[in-house]
Amino acid sequence: MKALVYHGPRQVNVEEVPDPRIERPTDVLVKVTSTNICGSDLHMYEGRTDVERGKVLGHENLGEVVEVGAAVDRVKVGDRVCLPFNIGCGFCKNCERGFTGFCLSMNPGFAGAAYGYASMGPYNGGQAEYLRVPYGDFNCLRLPPDVAEKENDYVMLSDIWPTGYHATVLADVQPGESVVVYGAGPVGLMAAYSATLRGASKVILVDRRPDRLALGEKIGAIPIDDSQGSAVEQVLDLTGGEGADKGCECVGWQAHDPTGDEHPNMTMNDLVKAVRATGAIGVVGVFVPQDPGGPDTMAQQGRVAFDLGAFFQKGLRMGSGQANVKAYNRQLRDLIAAGRATPSFLVSHELPLTDAPQAYAHFDARDDGWTKVVLKP
């Protein structure tokens, strides 16, 4: 089959690789029909992770079941399914409690497994024609017939919508509250969208990419361009000097200033300033325990100079980590089915798999108008 293979920093190729096959009776084989490029793929693309060369990338996958193992009961050939980016077993201590992003079985010695991702186990990704799904009955989310028209909505259930939603859950967003979201990439846009769905009265979105801020404005967020002045001061102005009730971090450790210089602590310390005393912060932007390519020794050791004193003084709370996609994907699917949500609003490009290398280059450069790429293998 054809697949997108990682060969080194900014080197990805579409090439022939062996077809995946059913390896265990609990596996399901999916013919991929939509697979997104994610901001998380860019950390690998830029050579900022230890992902192995030869890996097939792609963790935001949707497709049609073409084969099921002998022990698969629920999922049938022909079902249209969306796959959470995390691979869970369903029976470990964490999966049982809903923390499928931290499965203890699928990647022994590490809490969490995913398709096509650094440190997340030996699983190939779905930027390919076919994908092997372990524990298919547990991991496949079945989709209703309107997937025929809403495929670009449903594919957002694989990662970024549940991830944006997770940020609002970690921040405990309540109806009527004000929320500030750092980062207007796909994840930040989905966090802003989710905050609105959860009843926030005011959603403030911080970035410096005009195209992304404009999309945020379309869904009702107040855009703040931090290249035009301090974002913190503007958030304080918009919230009567108090700060937003809740904050979401949707950038991660590669946060940079508008000139492009990286400061891994930038968004976290801004959030401590921009969220009111006793508020809460949900962190879904990725932070890593080591980064040999980081800007200084601390960053290289995965450390961040965090304003813990101010955080403590304000009585702030914080939650962080990979999104447990399965905790939300069913309910969010039903919002799409009911016509109450259309997360596909952020899709800017639908391209064949063969165009993936160019799409990576454009998305990595955050070129104007490249908000979200859906590949159609």
Ligand X SMILES: NC(=O)c1ccc[n+]([C@@H]2O[C@H](COP(=O)([O-])OP(=O)(O)OC[C@H]3O[C@@H](n4cnc5c(N)ncnc54)[C@H](O)[C@@H]3O)[C@@H](O)[C@H]2O)c1
Among 185, 223, 247, 282, contact with ligand X (rule: CB under 6 A): 185
- Asked if 267 interacts with Zn ion (CB under 5 A), we say no
**DSSP string for 254-268:** T-B-TTS-B-TTHHH
Q: Which residue is nearest to Zn ion (CB)?
A: 38
Which one of ligand X, Zn ion, none interacts with residue 251, CB within 5 to 8 A by kind? ligand X
The stretch near ligand X (CB under 6 A) out of 36-44, 109-117, 127-135, 332-340 is 36-44
Q: How far is CA 352 from CA 82, 153, 355, in A?
A: 19, 18, 6
Among 256, 303, 317, 362, contact with ligand X (rule: CB under 6 A): 256
| CA count, 13 A, side-chain hemisphere, 76 | 2
Written as one letter, the residue type at 36 is N
Which one of ligand X, Zn ion, none interacts with residue 252, CB within 5 to 8 A by kind? ligand X
**DSSP string for 151-171:** HHHHGGGGTHHHHHHHHHHHT
Count, residues in the chain? 377
Binding footprint of ligand X, residue count (CB under 6 A): 34
Site for Zn ion in 126-165 (CB under 5 A): 159
Which one of ligand X, Zn ion, none interacts with residue 92, CB within 5 to 8 A by kind? Zn ion
**DSSP string for 201-246:** SEEEEEES-HHHHHHHHHTT-EEEEGGGS-HHHHHHHHTTTS-EEE
Note the helical H segments in the chain: 39-45, 93-96, 136-139, 147-154, 160-170, 186-197, 210-218, 231-238, 266-274, 297-300, 308-313, 329-337, 356-364
Q: What is the largest distance, in Å, between two alpha-carbon atoms of the chain? A: 61
Which one of ligand X, Zn ion, none interacts with residue 182, CB within 5 to 8 A by kind? ligand X
Binding footprint of Zn ion, residue count (CB under 5 A): 10
Nearer to ligand X, 68 or 189 (CB): 189
Which one of Zn ion, ligand X, none interacts with residue 266, CB within 5 to 8 A by kind? ligand X
Site for ligand X in 260-299 (CB under 6 A): 266-267, 284-286
Shortest distance, position 100 Cβ to Zn ion, whole Å: 7
Which one of Zn ion, ligand X, none interacts with residue 184, CB within 5 to 8 A by kind? ligand X
Ramachandran region, residue 220 (left: φ > 0; alpha: ψ -120 to 50; beta: rest)? left
Nearer to Zn ion, 155 or 275 (CB): 155
Site string for Zn ion, 87-126 (x = CB under 5 A): -xx--x--x-------x-x---------------------
The number of beta carbons lying within 10 Å of the beta carbon of residue 336 is 22
- What residues are paired with 248 via a beta bridge? 181, 282
Shortest distance, position 185 Cβ to Zn ion, whole Å: 10
Among 3, 28, 39, 264, contact with ligand X (rule: CB under 6 A): 39
- Asked if 183 interacts with ligand X (CB under 6 A), we say yes
How many H helices and E strands in the chain?
13, 15
- Torsion angle of the four alpha carbons 43, 48, 54, 60, in this order, in degrees rounded to the nearest 10: -20
Residues that bind ligand X (CB under 6 A): 38-40, 42-43, 159-160, 163, 182-188, 206-209, 212, 226, 250-252, 255-256, 266-267, 284-286, 322-323, 366
Residues that bind Zn ion (CB under 5 A): 38, 40, 60, 88-89, 92, 95, 103, 105, 159
